């Protein structure tokens, strides 16, 4: 790049780019509307119109005709800080481009008659602006936010000032500001830099308007010390709302960080405002945030278009999400995404020569040099999460901001000053409470339990032993939330939550988890629905963002629904090949008359085939309500940082407006007599299930049943020794207790040859009778207890096992540390307790017997 200042003071910047035979030539004049006196308001913009309306050499219309004849285009714009005239042409027409620009900016005729016509055009532009709600709202904002600085005036001026302009007034402005030393010529494209400079020296040799450069005299804007509000109504359909804080200028050290902040907050569909205020709360039609950093200190603006009367609710939510940035630093994925957006924009701008020229001119005039660009992007790369929080805290306060709202007539009276103050105070109070330094006191196991702002429960257990982190989210539901018509929907939801979200496609989820050597899996069962994530500690925060997106914002893409539906139907069909699965499904359906436990967790072919997308979404919204979640995190984490992450991502989420609460079904009732079921299957083995209604997870008798199942089952258990080892009646035989939030069941199972079925069943009944009538020996009790305690401890070695156990125990009301008392509860079981529990529950007059075989000896 070649930069040179000519003898007359004109600054010339040339960037050779031979990718295409195109050239962009731009003249940047260091004068904008902010340099005008009150009487001159709009004059800079009038010059933008007039400089192409004829010169001493070109009549009206000839400039545009010459440009088009050369295959190019010409235009101009005016801002607060500069006026820019630009031409883009094939590079072979460089001489034409430079000649036209130099002629226009140095020799404009300012014809009296043409001036009158063009002023009328400007007045029409003003009138059009009055009919454009977004422009009116913007002017309201700047006029209110700035009290002294000339940024408060609209670039286009006012009807009164434009009507009063004279040719002499315009010429005086032109001569004062359109001096070579007040201009920059930028040329980018398929050119020779030295050749461009030589041509510029000839074309811009005029001494017209030379003299002492005009000194910029702008009033300094004093600090804003209170809330400012301006509202107006028109015959329009939606509200245009803006909230603004005073911010830095372009050359300020905070600019890079506040630009990143604006991207995180309000750029794109994954931004915080869009996700929370539009998608989650559905309070706005659109929302955005931007940092306006001009020559002098500018504004940080948050805005939205709002339909209907929910203006004040939308204002409160926009304000809360914005001010939240001052309380907690963004997570790593958010930060990197924002940086990538800014850095990628710099690359995309280089696709066109006019884009490159615009950047060079802007940085030269507004930042003081083209080298600002490289420094700025280096600062963007260096921005940290704490930098973002710091600038948010510095600039975004809850008391000194400006509100501007242009509303439909029906909303007259809304956002009155007392209301705005009250909402702002409530927002600040909520945030102060939510992010107040918690007196985080380790509880049982050394874990920290907190309630998030939305009511969700989080338990964090720091364990640096291995650099891994496991997170589990659980909520009551699953099979327990289903009916005969919705059977299987929970399983489908569990599969789909990791098949695409608002931020990640299904493929991206797979790629991200693989790249992190982690995993995210949906989980559904008889009593709960949830999500599990496992990550290396180094990628924990990145993994958490992915986990949270799956948990809070799955999209349930129709194509993914069909894929998972097919898989689920295949799994259902496959279960028909498992004789034991058939036996237990028949057993549950017979034991539970109307309770959901009677249903298969996968559902049936009829129900799964019939599910609509709306049913799937309804099940997700009902069961995985953000306010009903229990989250557990176990591993190498920082507790305080993790609490902040949870508050920022999970604690702000709320149930969908249409989401009903999970209501537990009525408890299952005891059957009124023995029930017998036979299912004919022409198979080699017969399957026998004999069982009884058992107890719930909250029932202390469950531990007696656990010990009993260990005494009977396992390789050292009575059933194994008697029926397999001694009599060779089966390969698989056992007894087990299955609990749930509602009473589960205790069952015996054996798979044997049909001709051995009668002997096998007799052996089971014999053991059942012994349990009911005799105390178990001390040796058997000791073996069974040691096995249960040891296997429990072995199972909980992994962080994932502990996070899962803690999540479910907490969600079920047992307490996250319930597993820690397992050994004590098992040791407390006595032979007498087992006998009494067996007599109470394992009664043949309330038994269910299911046989799946080619024939049933008892039928």
Q: Mean pLDDT, to the nearest integer, of 17-36? A: 95
Residue 585 is classified by DSSP as H
Q: What is the pLDDT of residues 222-244, one digit of tens each?
A: 999 999 999 999 999 999 999 99
Confidence band for 207, pLDDT divided at 50, 70 and 90 = low
pLDDT average, residue stretch 498-523: 93
**Residue-wise pLDDT tens digits, 779-822:** 999 999 999 999 999 999 999 999 999 999 999 999 999 999 99
Structure tokens at 407: 């509303």
Q: For residues 525 and 476, what is the distance between their CA atoms, to the nearest angstrom?
A: 10
Q: DSSP letter at 676? A: E
CB 261 within 8 A of CB 386: no
Nearest alpha-carbon partner for 792 in 809, 775, 780: 809
pLDDT at 212: 66
DSSP 8-class letter at 161: H
pLDDT bracket for residue 859 (50, 70, 90) = very low
The CA distance from 847 to 772, in Å, is 14
Do residues 488 and 568 touch, judged by C-beta distance below 8 A?
A: yes
In which residue are the tokens 């995210």 written?
Answer: 520
End-to-end CA distance of the chain: 96
Contact 603, 478 (CB under 8 A): no
CB-based contact 719:613 (threshold 8 Å): no
Question: What is d(CA 142, CA 339) in angstroms, rounded to the nearest whole number?
Answer: 28
Highest mean pLDDT among 112-126, 251-265, 647-661: 251-265
Q: What percent of the chain has pLDDT over 70?
A: 98
What is the rounded distance in angstroms from the CA atom of residue 453 to the CA atom of residue 801?
27
Residue 555's SS3 state is coil
- pLDDT over 90 percentage in the chain: 82
Report the relative pairing of strands 228-234 and 402-408 from DSSP bridges. parallel
E strand intervals along 98-201 = 183-189
Coarse DSSP helix, strand, coil percentages of the chain, rounded to the nearest 5 percent: 50, 20, 35
Distances 253 to 113, 244, 375, 475 between C-alpha atoms, Å: 48, 20, 11, 46
3-state secondary structure 130-181: HCCHHHHHHHHHHHHHCCCCHHHCCCCCCHHHHHHCCHHHHHHHHHHHCCHH
β-pairing verdict for 228-234 and 457-462 = unpaired
Separation between Cα atoms, residue 577 and residue 581, nearest integer Å: 8
Which are the contacts of 726, defined by CB distance < 8 A and separation ≥ 6? none
Show the tokens assigned to 377.
């992007």
Q: Does an H or E element contain 387, and which? A: helix 385-395
Q: What per-residue confidence (pLDDT) applies to 52?
A: 86
DSSP, res 25: E
Q: How far apart are alpha carbons 506 and 516 in whole angstroms?
A: 16
pLDDT tens digits along 70-117: 999 999 999 999 999 999 999 999 999 999 999 999 999 998 998 999
Q: What long-range pairs does 574-580 form, CB within 8 A, spacing at least 24? A: 575/600, 575/602, 579/681, 579/683, 579/685, 579/687, 579/751, 579/852, 580/687, 580/732, 580/749, 580/751
CA distance readout (Å), 294 to 216, 368, 391? 15, 12, 17
Which phi and psi angles does 266 have, rounded to 5°? Answer: -145, 25
Helix (H) or strand (E) holding 450: strand 448-451
Q: Are 807 and 474 in contact (CB under 8 A)?
A: yes
- pLDDT for res 349: 81
Average pLDDT over residues 383-412: 95
Token code pair at residue 551:
């948990």
Instruction: For residue 478, give both structure tokens.
Output: 């699953």
Q: Could you report the per-residue pLDDT of 619-670, keeping only the tens digit for each?
A: 999 999 999 999 999 999 999 889 988 988 899 898 988 888 889 999 999 9
Of 465, 618, 488, 644, give the one whose Cα is nearest residue 537: 465
| 101: its two tokens | 């620009």
Q: Under 8 Å CB-to-CB from 789, ≥6 apart: which residues?
A: 822, 823, 826, 827
**pLDDT at residue 606 in the model:** 97
CB 513 within 8 A of CB 521: no
Strand-pair category, 630-635 with 457-462: parallel
The number of residues making up the chain comes to: 859
- Tokens describing residue 854: 């080619």
Cα 164 to its chain centre, rounded Å, is: 52
Q: Which of 128, 194, 156, 187 is nearest to 45 (CA)?
A: 156
- Residue 533: in which H helix or E strand, if any? strand 528-536
Spatial separation of the C-alpha atoms in residues 102 and 479, rounded to whole Å: 78
* pLDDT recorded at residue 792: 92
pLDDT over 70 (residue 206): no
Q: Is the pLDDT of residue 571 over 80?
A: yes
Query: Are residues 500 and 683 in contact, defined by beta-carbon separation less than 8 angstroms?
Result: no
Worst-scoring range by mean pLDDT, 13-17, 205-209, 368-372, 413-417? 205-209
pLDDT at 857: 55
Cα separation, 386 vs 384, whole angstroms: 5
**Above 60 in pLDDT, residue 518?**
yes
Strand ranges inside 644-771, DSSP E: 675-680, 686-693, 732-738, 745-752
CA distance 810 to 827: 23
Rama region for 211: left / alpha / beta (φ>0; ψ in -120 to 50; rest): left
pLDDT category at 435 given cuts 50, 70, 90 is confident
- Cβ contact 759:773 at 8 Å: no
Q: What is the pTM of this model?
A: 0.70
Backbone angles phi, psi at 753, to 5 degrees: -70, 145
pLDDT digits (tens, 9 = 90+) for 711-721: 998 788 999 99
* DSSP label at residue 55: B
Residue 663 neighbours by CB distance under 10 Å:
7
Count Cβ atoms within 10 A of the Cβ of residue 782 and give its class: 0-12 exposed, 13-18 middle, 19 or more buried. exposed
Residue with tokens 């035979």: 21
pLDDT for the residue numbered 348? 83
- Report the DSSP pairing between strands 183-189 and 11-16: parallel
């Amino acid at each position: 790049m070649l930069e040179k200042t000519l003898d007359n003071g004109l600054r010339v910047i040339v960037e050779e780019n031979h990718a295409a035979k195109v050239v962009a030539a731009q003249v940047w004049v260091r004068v904008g509307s902010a340099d005008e006196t009150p009487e001159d308001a709009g004059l800079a913009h009038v010059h933008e119109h007039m400089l192409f309306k004829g010169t001493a050499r070109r009549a009206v219309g000839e400039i545009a005709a010459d440009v088009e004849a050369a295959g190019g285009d010409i235009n101009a714009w005016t801002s607060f800080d500069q006026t820019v005239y630009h031409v883009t042409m094939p590079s072979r027409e460089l001489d034409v481009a430079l000649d036209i620009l130099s002629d226009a900016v140095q020799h404009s005729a300012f014809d009296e008659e043409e001036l009158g016509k063009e002023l009328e055009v400007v007045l029409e532009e003003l009138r059009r602006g009055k009919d454009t709600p977004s422009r009116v709202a913007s002017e309201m904002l700047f006029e209110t936010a700035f009290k002294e600085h000339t940024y408060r005036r609209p670039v286009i001026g006012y009807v009164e000032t434009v009507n009063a302009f004279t040719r002499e007034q315009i010429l005086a402005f032109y001569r004062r500001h359109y001096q070579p030393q007040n201009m920059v010529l930028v040329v980018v494209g398929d050119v020779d830099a030295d050749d461009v400079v030589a041509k510029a020296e000839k074309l811009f040799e005029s001494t017209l308007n030379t003299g002492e450069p005009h000194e910029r005299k702008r009033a300094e804007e004093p600090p804003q010390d209170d809330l400012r509000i301006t509202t107006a109504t028109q015959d329009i359909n939606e509200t245009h709302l803006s909230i603004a804080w005073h911010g830095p200028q372009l050359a300020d050290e905070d600019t890079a960080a506040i630009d990143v902040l604006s991207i995180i907050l309000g750029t794109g569909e994954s931004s915080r405002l869009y996700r929370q205020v539009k998608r989650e709360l559905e309070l706005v039609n659109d929302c955005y945030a931007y940092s306006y950093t001009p020559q002098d200190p500018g504004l940080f603006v948050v805005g939205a278009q709002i339909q209907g009367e929910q203006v004040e609710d939308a204002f409160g939510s926009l304000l809360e999400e914005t001010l939240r940035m001052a309380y907690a630093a963004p997570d790593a994925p958010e930060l990197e995404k924002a940086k990538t957006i800014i850095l990628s924009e710099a690359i995309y701008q280089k696709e066109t020569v006019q884009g490159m020229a615009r950047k060079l001119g802007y940085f030269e005039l507004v930042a003081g040099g083209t080298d600002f660009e490289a420094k700025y992007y280096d600062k963007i790369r260096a921005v940290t999460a704490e930098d973002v929080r710091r600038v948010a805290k510095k600039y975004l306060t809850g008391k000194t901001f400006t509100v501007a709202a242009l509303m439909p007539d029906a909303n007259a009276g809304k956002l009155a000053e007392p209301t705005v103050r009250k909402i702002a105070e409530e927002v600040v109070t909520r945030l102060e409470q939510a992010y107040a330094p918690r007196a985080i006191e380790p509880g049982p196991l050394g874990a920290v339990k907190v309630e998030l702002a939305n009511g969700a429960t989080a338990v964090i257990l720091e364990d640096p032993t291995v650099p891994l982190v496991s997170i589990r989210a659980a909520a009551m539901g699953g099979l327990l939330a289903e009916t005969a018509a919705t059977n299987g929907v929970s399983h489908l939801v569990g599969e789909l939550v990791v098949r695409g979200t608002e931020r990640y496609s299904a493929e991206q989820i797979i790629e991200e988890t693989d790249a992190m050597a982690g995993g995210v899996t949906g989980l559904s069962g008889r009593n709960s629905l949830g999500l599990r994530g496992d990550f290396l500690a180094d990628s924990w925060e990145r993994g958490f963002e992915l986990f949270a997106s799956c948990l809070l914002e799955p999209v349930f893409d129709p194509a993914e629904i069909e894929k998972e539906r097919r898989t689920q139907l295949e799994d259902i069909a496959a279960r028909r090949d498992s004789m034991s699965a058939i036996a237990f499904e028949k057993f549950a359906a017979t034991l539970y008359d109307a309770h959901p436990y009677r249903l298969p967790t996968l559902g049936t072919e009829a129900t799964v085939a019939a599910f609509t997308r709306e049913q799937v979404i309804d099940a997700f919204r009902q069961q995985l309500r953000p306010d009903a979640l229990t989250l557990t995190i176990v591993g190498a984490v920082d507790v305080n940082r993790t609490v902040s992450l949870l508050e920022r991502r999970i604690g702000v989420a709320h149930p969908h407006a249409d989401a009903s609460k999970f209501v537990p079904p009525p408890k299952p009732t005891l059957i009124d007599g023995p029930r017998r079921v036979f299912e004919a299957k022409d198979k080699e083995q017969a399957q026998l299930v004999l069982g009884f209604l058992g107890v719930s997870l909250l029932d202390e008798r469950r531990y007696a049943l656990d010990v009993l199942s260990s005494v009977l089952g396992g390789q050292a258990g009575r059933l194994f020794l008697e029926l397999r080892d001694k009599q060779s009646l089966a390969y698989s035989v056992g007894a087990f207790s299955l609990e749930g939030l509602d009473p589960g069941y205790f069952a015996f199972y054996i798979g044997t040859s049909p001709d051995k079925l009668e002997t096998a069943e007799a052996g089971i009944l014999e053991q059942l009778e012994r349990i009911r009538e005799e105390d178990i020996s001390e040796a058997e009790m000791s073996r069974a207890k040691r096995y249960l305690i040891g296997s429990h401890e072995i199972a909980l070695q992994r962080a994932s096992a502990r996070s899962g156990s803690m999540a479910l125990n907490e969600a079920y009301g047992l307490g996250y540390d319930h597993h820690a008392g397992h050994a004590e509860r098992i040791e407390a079981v006595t032979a007498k307790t087992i006998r009494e529990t067996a007599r109470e529950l394992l009664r043949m007059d309330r038994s269910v017997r299911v046989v799946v075989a080619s024939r049933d000896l008892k039928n």
